[in-house]
Every structure is written in C-alpha cells, then in structure tokens.
Structure 1
Amino acid sequence: MQVSSPSFLEERFEAQRRAFAAESNPPLHVRMDRLNRLLALTENHESDFIRAIDADFGGRSAHETRIAELFVVRAGVRHARNHLKHWISPQRVATGLHFRPGYNRLLRQPLGVVGIVSPWNYPIQLSLGPALAALAAGNRVLLKPSELTPRFSELLDHLVSASFAPDELSVVNGGVDVGQAFTHLPFDHLFFTGSTRVGRQVAQAAAANLTPVTLELGGKSPAIFDASCDIAAAAASIAYGKFLNAGQTCIAPDYVLVPVGLADSVADQLKAAITRLYPTLISNPDYTAIISTRHRNRLLAIREEARDGGARIVEVNPAGERFDEGTRKFPPTLVIGAAASTRLMREEIFGPLLPIIEYDGLDKAIAMVNQGERPLALYWFGRSVANRDRVLNETVSGGVTINDCLWHLAQEAQPFGGVGPSGMGAYHGEWGFRTFSKEKPVFYQARLNGTRLFHPPYGKTFDLMLQLIKRIT
C-alpha cells in the first residue's frame, strides 16, 4: 500500500479547496455524474473488493461483503439519485402572516471539502456511504481508510483515482501519523467512524479549527428479551445479528437481557441457532475471521477474565474444531453470569462473545440499560405493546430494531447515528445530504410591506402594530 505523506495530504486538500472555490455549487447533472461513477465503481469491481477484504481479514465471507457492504452502498446511491432533484431545490418554508407578502425559502448549499475517516470492519460501506452523501450534496471529498485493511485501501485508491479527478474524490493512505494529520486539517466537515476513545481525539483535533464533526461510534448495544417474546425466533435473529462479520459490527447486540430463570433456555436456543448458521467454523467461508491477532488476543483475554470471575462459558463449536494461534477465527461464545466489573461488561466487545444477563422485571431491565452509556443500537423482542413502548420511551439509543437485529441501519428514509458516547450527527438518505449541506434560510421581502411601521421614531403607530402582531402570532 502506497502511504501518503503529510505534504501530499496538504497538497490534495488545497487542490480540492481551489476546485470548490471555482465551482462552489455544482449543478444537478454534475452531481448525478459523480454518483453514477461511484455506483459503477462498486458494480464493476465487486469481485476485486471481495478478494481484497477477504485477504485483509484472513477469511471474510463474500456474501457478507455483498449484502452488508456493496448492497448498502448501491442502495444509498440509487436512493440519492432518485431524490437529488428535490433535495437540491429551494425548500418552501411557512411564513408568518405578519411577514406576508414576503416569503421564506431554505437553500441547501455544499459546505466545501469534506474529510472522511473510515474503519476496517465494513471498509466499503463505512467509507463510500458517507462519501456518496457528501458528493450528492456537492462537496469535494478526501477519504482516509483504515491501515488495518491495506489491500482494500490500496484497491480503493486505485479505483477512485481511475474514476475521479483528484480534486473531486481522493483517497489518502497511511498509519496513525497520517490519520492524525488528516484530522487536523481545516475541513468544512469531518466525518469519523470508529471507537469512542478515538472519536474523542478526533473531536478535539477538529475543535481547533472549529470544524463541525459527525461521529459514528459504538458502545454496548443491548438486546432485551421481553417475557412475551418467542425465544426461538428471537434467538435466531440474535444469532444472525451478533455473529455476522464475527461480531465485528458497531450495531451488533453486545449483551442480551433475559427474564430471570431463562438464561439457560435462551443459551440453548442460541446454541441451536448458531449451529444452524455455522455447522463448521475454521474452514467455513461463511464465518468471518477476526481482523488481527491483536484483536483476537484481546477477545481471549476478556473471555478468560470473565471465566475467572465466575461466569459460565459456553463455546459453540459444532464440529469440535481446534482453535489455536494458527487461525484468527474465534468460536461463537456465550457467557452466562458475567460480573458487571469485568471488561466484557464494561467495554464494547466487537467480536463473537455474547453475555447473557438475567433481569427481574422490566423496571430492572430499563435501569440496567440506562446505567450505562447511551448505546448506538437497542433491540427489543416481544409481543407486549405496552412493554415495547415503555422501552422505547424510557431508554435513549442511536436507533432501534423491534423483533429483529441490525435492519434499522438499512432504512434510507430514516437517519442513522449515535447519541452521546455512541456518536453525534446522522446520515443515510436525506439526512446524509443535509449533514454535508449548509441549510441557509432566506427571507424574500415584498416591495410593498409593513416593516417600516416598526422603524423609529417610535410612537403610537409602533405600539398599535405591536399589539396587532401579538394577537395574530
């Protein structure tokens, strides 16, 4: 992978600034052309992306790359194309009676040069997803992918360079030093996806330039089994949502809350559901590996700490395979009764470890969720409308899926984003377009209007007009 130098980074940034200054509000056909080129890039090189990401992971399901990455990006591009004409048009805004016949309009303008820092776990989706929104909004884009996926990052650089001018969309590669230099540039908007810890550092770097940020972070996303739920159906959804990409998903269920006395039953159903999905593991192309040895060792350490603290470990290994240092794959593992003080229960897991925690009554479940930092996602399973609505109304999370996992992320007509430690800002669909736009309010004054009646010298006319306005507003 060719590493970008800090000087190259600054040169590319300045080139994009100059290009934006020369065309600060590109017309519809220019934006559509950029979206079409981005779509073609994903469609014409699907097999290349799959091979590169598989090599970076040391075993990444091709089907997961197709559905969770390429499909999501393509759906986002198509949605933007279908709605872009409306999005860029001046928006009609209501005007108060006392300001008529003047009228309001809301103009959406590009911000300028947008910086995007993307992670390794879904390298296509989390780089090109924000990029398509920024391009639709008329911006220039600099993109810094993760150094943990070097083959993908090199491929993306090559494909983007072949499809876009450097002052339209450009990729810069490198390690932590390049990433730090990147976040210190005076972007017009900086978009970061990654851990909460690094997100804080990004926000601090951006603050020096008063650069607005969107932070897509993570946290411990709970899944709540209500007493009214179908345990087998809920377990099937959890098994898919948790072990997709081997749990390396920012909105994966991080722990499961189940009614008291049901932990073993739920574990049995989860074990059966996982076995149906992954009858073998090490040689199974459907089961993804852990991104690096360091990350795998971290998972081993937090699992063993939980075991040492008295938790019961249920390893789901249907074929009885041997897991050792020769593979980066990690078996699906259920953890029952982990202590609240363990790393497993304090840190975002980001791997195929799933704690099962019992709760005694819905009040306790809600309290357990609210005691932690606000999560990126929450999942609720059950038939009780009253209990469902209590959870929705009494907890705060970035997004929710009811009676399933993950799918709120794929709704282009809904915003996606975190809250508090799980992030700030939102994108997808129109929300992405608006994130990367300046929504400028404009009031058009009529030639004949009454505002001069409020000018000095003040007197009875002013008082009468003010009384009249009070009555009609």
Structure 2
Amino acid sequence: MTREEIINIFEIQKKNRWVVANSSTQRRILRLQKLREAVIKFEAELYPAFARDFGKPTTEAEITEVYPVLEEIKFTIRHLKNWTKPKRVPTPLPLIGSRSQIRYEAKGQVLIMGPWNYPFNLVMTPLVSAVAAGNVVVLRPSNKTQNVASVIKAIIQHAFPADEVAVVGGDTSIADLLLEMPFDHIFFTGSPRIGRKIMASAAKNLSSVTLELGGKSPAIVHKDAHLDVIVDRLVWASFLNAGQTCVAPDYVFVHKDIELEFQKKIKARIEAVFGSNYSEREQGMDMARVIDPLSLNRLQNLISSSLASGAKLLCGGNANAETRFLEPTVLTGVQAEHAIMSEEIFGPIMPVLSYEDIDKVIQYIRSHDKPLALYLFSQSEKIHEKFLSETTSGAVVINHAIIHVGNPYLPFGGAGTSGLGNYHGFYGFKTFSHEKAVIKQGRLGLSTGLFPPYARWQVRAALFLLRWLSR
C-alpha cells in the first residue's frame, strides 16, 4: 500500500468521522452484527492461515482467537444500549437549579495496531469496542502473520465501507507513516520497547493511547497448593501458543517443601499432554511453532546460557530450526541472575525457582517491572490477601492462570511497563469514548449571586451561604 493510498484512507475517514460518531446505537449494533456474520463467513479460511503463519493448532485457534471475538461481539451488542445512555450524576447544593450528566462520545479517528502472537483476537477485540463507541478505525495487523492479515482484510471489507473501517498492511515504514498522522486515539498491543516509541509518536499530536504490553508475569506455588490440580493449569497456561502469550506465566516460584514433587508432576504432565519423547512432541498437533528463526535462536540462547550458569534441564530443550519447533522446556535451579530471568521469554520455557520466605518472593516481584498478571496458587486466604495488598500487577488470578482474559466484566490491561489503559466489555467502550461532562442550569441558581460588583448585599449573602454549606 502506497503513502498516497494511506493518506487517502485517513482523509475519507476524517470526512466521515462525525457521521459515524452521531450514528444511533441501533446502527452500531447492525454494524457489529454484520461483523459477526463476516467472521463466521470467513472462519474456515482463518484456521489454515494460522497454521501457515506459525503452526497454530486449529482447536487452539478456535478457543483463543475466534471464540473470544464472537463472544465480545455478542456481549457488546447485548449491553450497548445501556452503555450509550447518558448517565445522570448528583449535583451539589451550591449548584442548585442545575442538572448534571455524563455523555459518552466517540474519540473520533482511531488507529489499532495488532501483534503477531494472537493476530486475530488482539486486533478484532479492540475493533469491536471502537465500533461500539462510534469511531472510524484504521487497522494495522502484524506483518509477521500475513496469511491471517489477508483474512482479516477480507472480513473487514465484507463488513464495513473503507470510510468507517479500513485495513492497512505493510512493513515498519507503513507503521511509521501511520504514527505521523493525527489520530485521536492509538491502541497498540506489543512489546514495551515499541510501546515507548508509540507513546513518543502520539505525544507529537497529543493523541491519547492505550498500550497493551507484556513483561514477566510470575506464578507462585505455595506449599499448601493442590499440585494435582494446579500442575495441569500451569502446563496449559505456560505452553499455550508455544508460550507466545503476553499473560503466560513467565517464571514459577515453588516452595522448597514441595519442589521435588512439583518437578515430578510437571514433567509427567508435559509427557502426558505433548508426548513422552522429542519425536512424539514434534509430530504432535497440540503446540504452535515459534514465530520466526530469530526468535527461536534467541530462546535457544536463553536456555544454553542459563544452563551454563548453573540451571538444570528437567525436560525439553530440543528444537528443529527448519520447522521452528521448540519442545516444552522446564529449567530448575534457576537463579535471579540467570539469562532466562533477564527478559520476557515469549516461548515454551518454564523457569522454576525455589523459595522458603514468601516475603522475599514479594520483594523480588516489587523490585522489578510491574507484571501484566500475577498467578498465585495457595489455599490460604491470608496469603491471597498478602499478595493482593503488597504487589502491583495488571491482574491477579488465584489458583489458575490466564482465565481472567475471558471475563468481559473485568478490565484487561497492565500497569507501568506492562501497559497503560484497559479494555474488554464496558472498559473497551470507555477506552474508545470521551466522557463528556454536561451540566444544564435552570433559570434560577446561587451562582448569579456571586457576579460582580462584589460589594452587593446579594454577594455577601451568597458567600455566607456557601461558607455554611462547606462546614
């Protein structure tokens, strides 16, 4: 796509921005219904696209990509009329004679930039919220998953005219061009490094931003955890999408009293799910591939460097460079200074650290960047409350992992370097809306008694009343 074509899309959406912003709730619902129909129409083309881009299993793609988008659309349609209603709010006594309300209006022209790891879900879910709020939208899917991006383009062209929603593809130069444009809001999902670049570009136009980033999300397995239950959940969450999930457990603190039992059970679960040897795992159909050779090489270096520093290989570690397959890998005896702890892993590797003092675990978490999620496995309410009150993270899940992303009644977002802002359900609608304060004054009111000249008796009387009311 050329520079001229992209500028033209921006301009035609600019002309249509107020038409869409003032569209009725019913018209927005019809647009969302059309989007849902388009997703279903092209669903069969999505699954082979996921497989071609990075070997994503069809069932996993349905569960983590298509189903969440369809549910987000259904949830939004069900609640949109209530969300768009002006909200009456109280008015203080000094402003007697007036009425106050909050109105939600569209932010205007929106840019949504998606990642490669969930290339459909993490573009389409924010799109649902943006359309519901009455915005015009430019979508920029990741250029690393071009097959999925092609299907997204077909879906959007089927559901929307270009002056409402348009898909723009291309390399990083296209992304840079888009960031030069004065969008009213930019929604980005990706790494903290690129997030900083997005924020700096947005500042030039004073565009508001939502940044859904990542980081090292910890899991803590306390000594009272039900291992038979939590091991299944941790293996699923850690190796879902080959670990290429922003909310994947990035490392696991395990209490020393149950460390050996945990290791035994985690290895057994991996063998039960993915195969008892490398050949079975590579030939299996239940695990995605690493996105590209560069990422695979980075992951292999993290493993080899950590092993050289004293970590132990419990299982896994083997890879096929040609197919970009890296088997589920568990490292034990990991220390904070090991390479595997220096950056977000974003791959099928589980580092396991041992602890005795829960306060030292909390101290470690607090001394690093705020994580996108924290996963705590314990039966103790006291331990639950301790982590809830003494740590900061985008979300906390107790006795499970990742499932919070499936609840549309909860906001999804990070804190600090793991993100800025949130979305899903009503929170997504708010993200793409401006909350306009509206106050309507009747004919009579106290404020007229405060107008100059201030020597009037009415001003003295009004001030006396205000002082009395403020006590």
Kindly provide the amino acid, as one letter, of the partner of residue 23 in structure 2: P
The answer (yes or no) to whether the contact 1:275–1:316 under 8 Å persists in 2 is no
Secondary structure of the 2:393 match is coil
Q: 1:471 and 1:224 mapped to 2: Cα distance?
A: 54
Map of 2:296 onto structure 1: 296
1:31-66 residue CA offsets vs partner (Å, 9 max, x unmatched): 111111111122222221111111100x21111111
Check if 1:136 corresponds to 2:132: yes
State which of 328, 331, 349 in structure 2 corresponds to 1:332. 328
Alpha-carbon offset, residue 323 of structure 1: 3.8
Q: 1:336 and 1:146 mapped to 2: Cα distance?
A: 34
Map of 2:35 onto structure 1: 38
Map of 1:153 onto structure 2: 149
The answer (yes or no) to whether the contact 1:263–1:336 under 8 Å persists in 2 is no
Q: 2:242 and 2:21 mapped to 1: Cα distance?
A: 43
Q: 2:147 and 2:467 mapped to 1: Cα distance?
A: 65
Kindly provide the amino acid, as one letter, of the partner of residue 64 in structure 1: E
Check if 1:225 corresponds to 2:221: yes
Alpha-carbon offset, residue 261 of structure 1: 4.5
Map of 2:372 onto structure 1: 376
Secondary structure of the 2:281 match is coil
**Which aligned pairs between 1:196-275 and structure 2 lie closer than 5 A?**
196-275=192-271
Aligned Cα root-mean-square deviation (Å): 1.5
The answer (yes or no) to whether the contact 1:262–1:358 under 8 Å persists in 2 is no
Map of 2:178 onto structure 1: 182
The answer (yes or no) to whether the contact 2:446–2:462 under 8 Å persists in 1 is no
Task: Point out the more displaced range, 308-317 or 98-107.
Answer: 308-317
Q: 1:370 and 1:126 mapped to 2: Cα distance?
A: 28
Secondary structure of the 1:45 match is helix
Alpha-carbon offset, residue 100 of structure 1: 2.2
State which of 9, 14, 19 in structure 2 corresponds to 1:17. 14
TM-aligned CA distance change 1:467 to 1:224, over 3 Å:
farther
State which of 23, 26, 31 in structure 2 corresponds to 1:26. 23
TM-aligned CA distance change 1:471 to 1:386, over 3 Å:
farther
Check if 1:432 corresponds to 2:421: no
Alpha-carbon offset, residue 299 of structure 1: 0.7
Secondary structure of the 1:294 match is helix
The answer (yes or no) to whether the contact 2:84–2:104 under 8 Å persists in 1 is yes
1:201-243 residue CA offsets vs partner (Å, 9 max, x unmatched): 1111111111111000000000111222112222111111111
Map of 1:100 onto structure 2: 96
Task: Point out the more displaced range, 23-32 or 207-216.
Answer: 23-32
Map of 1:313 onto structure 2: 313
Q: 1:290 and 1:471 mapped to 2: Cα distance?
A: 68
The answer (yes or no) to whether the contact 2:20–2:164 under 8 Å persists in 1 is no
Q: 2:257 and 2:332 mapped to 1: Cα distance?
A: 12
The answer (yes or no) to whether the contact 2:290–2:326 under 8 Å persists in 1 is yes
Kindly provide the amino acid, as one letter, of the partner of residue 468 in structure 1: L
Q: 2:138 and 2:367 mapped to 1: Cα distance?
A: 38
Q: 1:468 and 1:150 mapped to 2: Cα distance?
A: 67
Alpha-carbon offset, residue 356 of structure 1: 0.6
Task: Point out the more displaced range, 136-145 or 360-369.
Answer: 360-369
The answer (yes or no) to whether the contact 1:50–1:62 under 8 Å persists in 2 is yes
Kindly provide the amino acid, as one letter, of the partner of residue 388 in structure 2: L
The answer (yes or no) to whether the contact 1:263–1:356 under 8 Å persists in 2 is no
Map of 2:62 onto structure 1: 66
Check if 1:412 corresponds to 2:403: no
TM-aligned CA distance change 1:86 to 1:311, over 3 Å:
same
Secondary structure of the 2:320 match is coil
Map of 2:286 onto structure 1: 286
Map of 1:54 onto structure 2: 51
Check if 1:121 corresponds to 2:96: no
Kindly provide the amino acid, as one letter, of the partner of residue 25 in structure 1: N
Secondary structure of the 2:417 match is helix
Kindly provide the amino acid, as one letter, of the partner of residue 291 in structure 1: I
Give percent identity, aligned residues only: 35
Q: 2:191 and 2:443 mapped to 1: Cα distance?
A: 54
The answer (yes or no) to whether the contact 2:38–2:158 under 8 Å persists in 1 is no
Q: 1:456 and 1:376 mapped to 2: Cα distance?
A: 54
Alpha-carbon offset, residue 472 of structure 1: 3.2
Q: 1:222 and 1:111 mapped to 2: Cα distance?
A: 35
Task: Point out the more displaced range, 134-143 or 85-94.
Answer: 85-94
Q: TM-score, normalised by structure 1?
A: 0.95
Alpha-carbon offset, residue 461 of structure 1: 3.9
TM-aligned CA distance change 1:337 to 1:377, over 3 Å:
same
Secondary structure of the 2:105 match is strand
1:257-304 residue CA offsets vs partner (Å, 9 max, x unmatched): 111243332221211222222223212221111111211111101110
Kindly provide the amino acid, as one letter, of the partner of residue 17 in structure 1: K
Alpha-carbon offset, residue 22 of structure 1: 4.0
Kindly provide the amino acid, as one letter, of the partner of residue 124 in structure 1: F
The answer (yes or no) to whether the contact 2:138–2:165 under 8 Å persists in 1 is yes
TM-aligned CA distance change 1:463 to 1:313, over 3 Å:
farther
Map of 1:112 onto structure 2: 108
Secondary structure of the 1:351 match is coil
Q: 1:261 and 1:384 mapped to 2: Cα distance?
A: 16
The answer (yes or no) to whether the contact 2:230–2:399 under 8 Å persists in 1 is yes
Secondary structure of the 1:104 match is strand
Q: 1:352 and 1:39 mapped to 2: Cα distance?
A: 32
Secondary structure of the 1:67 match is helix
Task: Point out the more displaced range, 173-182 or 417-426.
Answer: 173-182
Q: TM-score, normalised by structure 2?
A: 0.96
Kindly provide the amino acid, as one letter, of the partner of residue 111 in structure 2: G
State which of 348, 358, 361 in structure 2 corresponds to 1:352. 348
Q: 2:25 and 2:417 mapped to 1: Cα distance?
A: 36
Q: 1:392 and 1:6 mapped to 2: Cα distance?
A: 48
Q: 1:323 and 1:434 mapped to 2: Cα distance?
A: 44
Alpha-carbon offset, residue 23 of structure 1: 4.2
Q: 1:106 and 1:22 mapped to 2: Cα distance?
A: 21
1:126-170 residue CA offsets vs partner (Å, 9 max, x unmatched): 000110100000000100001110111112112211221001111
Kindly provide the amino acid, as one letter, of the partner of residue 453 in structure 1: G
The answer (yes or no) to whether the contact 1:259–1:359 under 8 Å persists in 2 is yes
